[in-house]
Structures are given as C-alpha cells and as structure tokens.
Amino acid sequence: MEYIHDIMKYESDRPCVITLGKFDGVHKGHRKLIRKARALAAKAGGRSAVFTFTVSPQVMMGERQMKMITTNRERDEILRELGIDLLVECPFTEELRSMSAEDFVKELLVGRLHASAVVVGTDARFGKDRAGDADLLVSLGAKYGFDVFVEEKEKDGDREISSSYVRERIAEGDMQRVQNLLSYPYFMAGEVVHGRHLGHTLGFPTINTVPPSEKMLPPRGVYFTRTLVGGKWYQGISNLGVKPTVDGSAVGLETYLFDCSLDLYGQEARVEFLQFRRSEKKFGSIEELKNQMDEDIQAADNFFQPDNS
Ligand SMILES: Cc1cc2nc3c(=O)[nH]c(=O)nc-3n(C[C@H](O)[C@H](O)[C@H](O)COP(=O)(O)O)c2cc1C
Ligand SMILES: Nc1ncnc2c1ncn2[C@@H]1O[C@H](COP(=O)(O)OP(=O)(O)O)[C@@H](O)[C@H]1O
C-alpha cells in the first residue's frame, strides 16, 4: 500500500477507483465500499484508493467531543490489511475545508488522482460545509468523465450500520455485538510501558498500554482478550481502568497473557476485546483482589476452552 499524506505531491498517472469518507472503525459498511473499489480497480487495471482525512485529536475533541473507534494509526493498519493500493490521508486543513464540492472533485479526485470511478454510500458528503452529496457526485462524474457507484448502507437487522451505531454498542460494553458490526474485534494498539511492578508480586504480570486520548473506550472493567505482541497471539484477560485498589489515577489497559513469560517492554501490542466479564472494583485488600483475579482467570479459561469445563 502506498501512503500519501500530501496529495499535492502525488505523481502517478494511473487511474484510481476511489472510495471516500472518514472510515472511523472501518466497519462492515465501510468494508463493502472498499471491496467494491478493489473489485472495480482489478477489473479496470487501475489502483484502488481510499481518500480520507487525518483529524487531530484536538479538533475531534474540540468540535463535538467525538471519540474515535480507531485512531488514525489503527485505521491505517486495518486499511493496509484490507489490501488497498493507495491510502490518501489528508490533514483536514482550512484550505481543504473551504474547497467547494466541485473543486474538491475536479482538483483532487480528477486532477491529482485521475479517478476512473468513485464509490460512496448513499449518505456521502464532501466539500465545503458538506454541501456535496451522492446526486452531485453522479452529475460531476458525467461532467468530468468518471463512473459513480452509490452503494446502499449495510444493515444490522433494520438498522443501518454507522460509526455512531458502533460507538453506542462500545459504550454499552457489548463487545460481541461490536465485533459483529465491525467484522473484527474492537482493539487497542499501543506500546508496552512500565507499570508499578506489582503484577509479578501478585502472581499475575500484566503488560500495560496507555489508551490514546482520542480513542473511544468501552466501560471500565475486566475483559476476555486476545493480544498480538512480539509477532505472536496470546489469549488472556485485561483490566481497563484506574486500578482503584492499588492506584486510582490514570486510565490504563493491563493484560495478563496466558502461557507467556517473556519480557515485552517496548513492544507494540494489539489487544482485542472479545467479551466483557465484570466492572472494575475497589477491593479492601490486595488479597481480595488476588482472589477475584484467580476467579477471573478461571472464567477466561472457560471462555476460551468451553469443552474442558
Ligand atoms: C484480570 C484482572 C482484573 C483486575 N481487576 C481489578 C479490579 O477490579 N480492581 C483493581 O483495583 N485492579 C484490578 N486489576 C489491576 C491490578 O490491580 C493490577 O494488575 C496490579 O495491581 C498490577 O499493577 P502493575 O501492572 O502496575 O504492577 C485487575 C487486573 C487484572 C489482570
Ligand atoms: N504472562 C505474562 N503476561 C503479561 N506480561 C508478562 C507475562 N510474563 C511476563 N511478562 C512481562 O512482565 C511485565 C509485567 O510485569 P509487572 O510486574 O506486572 O510489571 P508492570 O507493572 O511494569 O506491568 C510485562 O511488561 C512483560 O514484559
């Protein structure tokens, strides 16, 4: 995948099949558009491209206190895995914000990316004040010579799948439902940092990662998780929260990995949230916490190996 941050520096003359949007979460609906763009590009011999924006955490938080399902980095990782040829991730600058819908299409999609086709959902919006919609795109396609495919939104029962629908389910901690809407488990990526080194004393060493400030978090508590770290997947159990029994300040994610005894500090970890187990609690003593963790780990064993219980 080629990654372009500054579209003015993009040089290739090859035609692109472009899909356009914020793609927060890269959920099932987004995937439908990406699949379509890839199929069209393969047929026409062009490049499949995603056009999106990097939105700074400050802007996101300032505007509507909107948290992201996937950070820019996580989204890039997923798009890369989906096998698109080109990711254009423009900073959402004043210049871009003030571009009319027609100029956006004429100058960027046609002028720079040589669009042969553009794939969008029925509710697509683009250009200054989000004035451009799917109908306008169809007429601009006729004017500038590219095909336009307007796809129906993917549904979950009667409800259209959208990033805000996924956020609602994350807020409820319904991680199985979230996985169904995304078509992959909600995850958090980050570097393994040092904690207070109590884990080893407790008998449960945990890898600690810090959730990015712009990331939408599920409720605080204990989750059955699967973690990719050091090139290997581990089953395990995580606590998302402030550890009120021993600490009580910043929100962190700690994961006890089953069948692992490696030193993992400084490595990248990707922790997938599979199922909520219980809320985080303040225990009267470390002993009580330890007993509860024993029970949690037993429950995780049953979750991962239901036939052995
Ligand atoms: C499965 C699991 C459940 C946990 N549940 C709680 C909890 O309910 N309350 C709490 O204060 N800490 C909880 N913790 C966090 C522990 O307090 C923490 O892992 C321990 O203090 C080690 O911290 P350290 O990584 O900073 O050394 C939990 C940790 C794990 C792995
Ligand atoms: N099974 C395991 N699960 C998680 N971390 C492990 C495991 N075995 C060894 N480790 C290592 O131990 C470290 C955690 O030890 P811990 O005493 O909890 O210290 P910290 O407070 O820094 O997390 C992890 O960062 C990792 O390098």
Q: Which among 36, 46, 43, 212 has a CA at the least distance from the CA of 120?
A: 36
Of the residues 194, 201, 206, which should be mutated to test ligand 1's pocket, given the most ligand atoms within 8 Å of the CB? 206
Q: How confident is the model over 52-76, as pLDDT tens digits?
A: 988 755 454 455 568 999 999 999 9
pLDDT of 120 > 60? The answer is yes
Judgement on whether residues 108 and 147 belong to the same structural domain of the protein: yes
Judgement on whether residues 230 and 93 belong to the same structural domain of the protein: no
DSSP string for residues in 182-195: HTS--EEEEE-B--
Q: To 10 degrees, the CA torsion angle through 86, 89, 95, 99? A: 60
Is residue 160 included in any domain, yes or no?
A: no
Quick one: average pLDDT of 117-142? 95
pLDDT of residue 193: 96
Range with lowest mean pLDDT among 106-110, 114-118, 152-156, 246-250: 246-250
Ligand showing the shortest atom-to-Cα distance for residue 258? 2
Q: How far is the CA of 239 from the centre of ligand 1 (A)?
A: 6
pLDDT of 12 > 60? The answer is yes
Is residue 65 included in any domain, yes or no?
A: yes
Domain harbouring 223, CATH code: 2.40.30.30
Judgement on whether residues 76 and 185 belong to the same structural domain of the protein: no
pLDDT of 38 > 80? The answer is yes
Q: How confident is the model over 225-265, as pLDDT tens digits?
A: 999 999 999 999 999 999 999 877 899 999 999 999 999 99
ipTM surpasses cut 0.90: yes
Burial 136-148 (b: 16+ CB within 10 A, else e): bbbebbeeeebeb
Q: What is the DSSP letter of 129?
A: G
Domain harbouring 95, CATH code: 3.40.50.620
Q: What is the pTM of this model?
A: 0.93
Q: How far is the CA of 288 from the centre of ligand 2 (A)?
A: 21
Judgement on whether residues 81 and 205 belong to the same structural domain of the protein: no
The domain in which residue 263 lies consists of 173-308
With bands split at pLDDT 50, 70 and 90, how would you rate the model's confidence at 308?
low
Ligand showing the shortest atom-to-Cα distance for residue 242? 1
